Structure 1
Amino acid sequence: MHLLIVDDHPLFRDALASAVRLAFPSAVILDADGILGAMAVLAADRAIDLVLLDLSMQGVVGFEGLISIRSRFPRVPILVVSGLEDPRIMREALQHGAAGFVPKAVDKATLTRAIADVLGGGLSIPAALSGPAAGLPSPATHLAERIARLTPQQLRVLLMIRQGKLNKQIAHELQVGDSTVKAHVSEILRKLDVISRTQIVIRTALLDFDQIQMPQAG
């Protein structure tokens, strides 16, 4: 069994690896401190059975990391292990393709059970989503479904649009022609059912959980 831990905090990576080794002594554990590093490991080691992913990492906005890995490596299950415990964030992570969600504060037994469930082909649903509100639709549900229809290259273009990059900048980074980028943008507009780049940014702001984390005024 090969597992990949993706977290930008070395101490937590070590602690998580230790907990996994206690439960699965024969596991081969790799790690990465960011999404680019995770992509490199996944590309080099096709035997990875599970990714343990933190959502909150430097340089990652909202669910971009989760979406990027899912897009490039759709067959590798991802178990989110996060310090974020808002049920809305948990629900969004599952809707964006995570096979489970485990708060960092859980005990080792809960973590072990979640890993076993996902490795067994199931889902690991956090306790916070097991109550009556678990079935409530999220405002980003349809958006997540539409984003899932994007090709990997269209997803990369989408993420760059959200970063405010112009077509020429996107073309340079992807090493493609301007006309190719324009074609991707047109397809993104069509698939997301929006009419402008501005609407792309506004609609996909639902992917960010920064505002969800802020305390409610009152």
Structure 2
Amino acid sequence: MKPENLNIIIADDHPLFRNALRQALMPCFNNTQWFEADSADALQQLLDAPQPNYDLVLLDLQMPGSHGYSTLLHLRAHYPELPVIIISAHEDNMTISRALHYGSAGFIPKSASMETFTNAIGDVMKGDVWLPDGVELQEINDEDNTDKMAGKLSELTPQQYRVLQMFAEGLLNKQIAYDLGVSEATIKAHATAIFRKLGVRNRTQAVIALQQLGMEKNEL
């Protein structure tokens, strides 16, 4: 029996994939409300809304504003009760291992059948972790630079994370202030806090730090 009355976010930048996945899954989950986000910022806006309370995020690792595992880390740090299933076209053992290491509740290859999607979501909503058959989980070295940066990134507040994403897009402080509806002084204060938490000295180093959470070449 599948869960009912859920609020599920599909976070993927391809509208055809989002629509096809939602249409295929709707008959399997009665009275479920589906929400869509095409970027990390759009996902954050959904999460910032007072209602509804979301039950699950289906998250693509690569969409605008998301550098590899950075959005997954952000979600696990600030919404620990909200399970996240990674949906990705990259199905290698290391990608799946890192996703699990950074807190995903499951990993569904985009090539999977709708029956697999349905079963995986059902298992995760029951509290299980779902992985594809035949996965050989790889050991993740907690002492490597990527993992250290992952820990630092998880310390950023949602607003600081959003500002860091805008740094990565090359936006100036005044542009960021306008987009977020705050003063430039507020953005400078966020920047100072970001640099301190990441252990860097300037915007360029902060962006490089964020990019460390991107997909490795052997994961593409």
Could you tell me the TM-score, scaled by structure 1's length? Answer: 0.76
User: What residue in structure 1 maps to residue 141 of structure 2?
Assistant: 137
Alignment partner of 1:189 out of 175, 187, 195? 195
User: What residue in structure 1 maps to residue 206 of structure 2?
Assistant: 200
Residue 169 to residue 4, structure 1, CA distance change in 2 (3 Å) = closer
SS of alignment partner, residue 185 of structure 2: helix
Unaligned 5+ segments in structure 1 are: none
Alignment partner of 1:12 out of 2, 8, 17? 17
Q: After the TM superposition, which of the residue ranges 140-149 and 61-70 deviates more from structure 2? A: 61-70
Residue 82 to residue 196, structure 1, CA distance change in 2 (3 Å) = same
Residue 154 to residue 101, structure 1, CA distance change in 2 (3 Å) = same
Residue 173 to residue 37, structure 1, CA distance change in 2 (3 Å) = closer
1:66-108 deviation digits (Å, cap 9, x = unpaired): 4566677553322122212233333443445432211011234
SS of alignment partner, residue 32 of structure 1: strand
For residue 159 of structure 1, report the CA deviation from its aligned partner: 1.0
The number of aligned residues is 210
- Partners of 2:91 and 2:216 in 1: CA distance: 13
Higher RCO (CA 8 Å, separation ≥ 6 residues): 2
For residue 149 of structure 1, report the CA deviation from its aligned partner: 0.8
User: What residue in structure 1 maps to residue 110 of structure 2?
Assistant: 104
- Partners of 1:37 and 1:199 in 2: CA distance: 25
User: What residue in structure 2 maps to residue 81 of structure 1?
Assistant: 87
Structure 2 counterpart of 1:176, which letter?
Answer: V
- Partners of 1:41 and 1:200 in 2: CA distance: 26
For residue 185 of structure 1, report the CA deviation from its aligned partner: 1.5
RMSD: 3.1
For residue 168 of structure 1, report the CA deviation from its aligned partner: 2.6
CA contact (8 A) 1:99 1:118 kept: yes
Are residues 1:123 and 2:129 paired?
yes
For residue 150 of structure 1, report the CA deviation from its aligned partner: 0.8
Structure 1 counterpart of 2:184, which letter?
Answer: D
CA contact (8 A) 2:105 2:129 kept: yes
CA contact (8 A) 2:94 2:138 kept: no
Alignment partner of 2:36 out of 17, 32, 37? 32
Q: Which of the two has greater helix per residue?
A: 1
Are residues 1:165 and 2:171 paired?
yes
Unaligned 5+ segments in structure 2 are: none
SS of alignment partner, residue 102 of structure 1: strand
CA contact (8 A) 1:79 1:101 kept: yes
% identical aligned pairs? 38
